[in-house]
Amino acid sequence: MALALSDREILEAQSLLARLAGIFAEPAGAISVAAARRLRAQGTIGQGDLVVCNITGHGLKQPSAIRIPDEELRPIAPDLAALRERLQSGEHGLGG
């Protein structure tokens, strides 16, 4: 089977991998996840089916594909209170 995926689908899969699995994949590396998501939505992949997605490229190979606001990259003090403050501020890109 072959699929044509949109850039949006691929970038959404890249973001999903980062948020849920802690994997920073380059866009090309996230294509297998984007394809699996599409096939699941279409019903080609069933709810109980076992699916293995190969993530073939690290995100540092193409860091320009993601956009992280400078404020999110601002360093914090190396203590738990500073980490809690950053997480509560919503500046980490995880939805607050």
Regarding predicted confidence, which is higher, 45 or 65? 45
Confidence of residue 69 (pLDDT cuts 50, 70, 90): low
Using the 8-state DSSP alphabet, how is residue 19 labeled? I
Using the 8-state DSSP alphabet, how is residue 15 labeled? H
- Check whether 96 has a pLDDT greater than 50: no
Residue 72: predicted pLDDT:
67
The string of pLDDT tens digits covering residues 11-54 is 999 989 988 998 989 999 999 999 999 999 999 999 999 999 99
Where helices occur in 1-96 by DSSP H, the ranges are 7-16, 31-42, 80-89
Q: What average pLDDT does range 84-96 have in this prediction? A: 66
